[in-house]
């Protein structure tokens, strides 16, 4: 499979939908509408949406069935970046070559834009999901997403990440941060996409383990691409470059073993996992 073409095409699907659901400047305070869109367009690789689409395909459903999850996960991912960049957190002025949201719109609007993006993620799932099909499935996907976004996963991971210097973290502690801060949203994109695609409980459990492994390995790949690991929550700092690469490959192999019996139709999902771990940017 041509991973870049898959990312590009599925990225266009989710972009069109996000443009439709994000509020326009005549519906909300204009600075809020602009701040909410600032980091969504242009976005990143749209890897999480692509994983959601591929997970629906992997369980035999049409790719499009995962659209709500693809969009909702991207909204949560974006909100978390807006808040991570704030002066009281990582204090970043630039992201993807542009000013961060608080630099462009002020700190208060950045906090509030993040808050509104989180609410929108759940609104999209609940409002469109009621129309789209089984309420049970949608409610299940929504619960998965709320858990992944909450204190036990995304937010708790960020709290520990901020304290990682004080923690004198070992490899296990760093992987625990990766699992919660990065892994959980990647895993829920996959599990939620498969859930909307009608997967059974046993398949969902395997995809969850697949997603957790891919999520941690994805973050190790990020650490490998980031030259500046001083004091950072990075496995490269503990294991060295080769050790980190070996660990990422082991996690990828563990992930792929989980989805071995899903056959040919899971090939896009496997290819995206290989890409996530081995990418060069």
Q: Which residues bind a second copy (CB under 8 A)?
A: 23, 27-29, 31-33, 36, 79-80, 83, 86, 88-89, 106-109, 111-112, 114-116, 118-120, 122-123, 126-127, 129-130, 135-136, 138-140, 142-143, 146-147, 149-152, 154-156, 158-160, 162-163
Closer by beta carbon to a second copy, 106 or else 243: 106
| 185 vs 200: CA distance, rounded Å | 20
Q: Tell the smallest beta-carbon distance from residue 41 to a second copy (Å).
A: 16
| 63 vs 40: CA distance, rounded Å | 22
Q: Tell the smallest beta-carbon distance from residue 4 to a second copy (Å).
A: 33
Cα 62 to Cα 48, 56, 67, 266, 269, distances in angstroms: 17, 7, 10, 12, 14
Q: Tell the smallest beta-carbon distance from residue 192 to a second copy (Å).
A: 12
Closer by beta carbon to a second copy, 30 or else 42: 30
CB atoms within 10 A of CB 260: 10
CB atoms within 10 A of CB 234: 23
Residue 91 backbone phi and psi in degrees, to 5? 50, 60
| 244 vs 120: CA distance, rounded Å | 36
Half-sphere exposure of 56 toward its Cβ, with a 13 Å CA cutoff?
Answer: 23
For residue 49, list its beta bridge partners.
none
CA angle 148, 102, 161 (to 5 degrees): 40
Q: Tell the smallest beta-carbon distance from residue 212 to a second copy (Å).
A: 18
Q: Tell the smallest beta-carbon distance from residue 101 to a second copy (Å).
A: 12
Closer by beta carbon to a second copy, 84 or else 223: 84
Closer by beta carbon to a second copy, 60 or else 122: 122
Closer by beta carbon to a second copy, 89 or else 253: 89
């Amino acid at each position: 499979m041509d991973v870049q073409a898959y990312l590009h095409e599925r990225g266009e699907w989710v972009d069109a939908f996000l443009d439709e659901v994000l509020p326009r400047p005549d519906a909300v305070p204009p600075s809020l509408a602009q701040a909410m869109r600032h980091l969504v367009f242009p976005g990143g690789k749209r890897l999480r949406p692509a994983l959601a689409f591929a997970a629906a395909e992997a369980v035999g459903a049409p790719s499009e069935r995962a659209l709500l999850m693809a969009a909702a996960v991207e909204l949560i991912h974006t909100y978390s970046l807006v808040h991570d960049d704030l002066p009281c957190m990582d204090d970043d002025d630039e992201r993807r070559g542009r000013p961060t949201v608080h630099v462009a719109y002020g700190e208060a609007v950045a906090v509030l834009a993040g808050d509104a993006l989180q609410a929108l993620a759940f609104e999209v799932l609940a409002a469109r999901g009621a129309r789209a099909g089984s309420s049970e499935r949608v409610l299940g996907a929504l619960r998965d997403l709320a858990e992944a976004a909450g204190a036990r996963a995304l937010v708790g991971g960020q709290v520990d990440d901020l304290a990682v210097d004080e923690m004198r973290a070992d490899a296990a502690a760093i992987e625990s941060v990766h699992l919660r801060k990065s892994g959980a949203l990647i895993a829920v994109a996959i599990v939620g996409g498969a859930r909307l695609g009608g997967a059974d409980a046993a398949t969902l459990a395997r995809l969850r383990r697949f997603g957790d492994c891919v999520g941690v390995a994805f973050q190790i790949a990020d650490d490998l691409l980031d030259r500046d690991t001083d004091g950072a929550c990075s496995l490269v700092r503990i294991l060295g470059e080769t050790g980190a690469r070996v660990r990422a490959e082991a996690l990828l192999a563990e992930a792929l073993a989980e989805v071995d019996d899903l056959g040919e139709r899971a090939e896009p999902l496997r290819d995206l996992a290989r890409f996530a771990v081995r990418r060069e940017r």
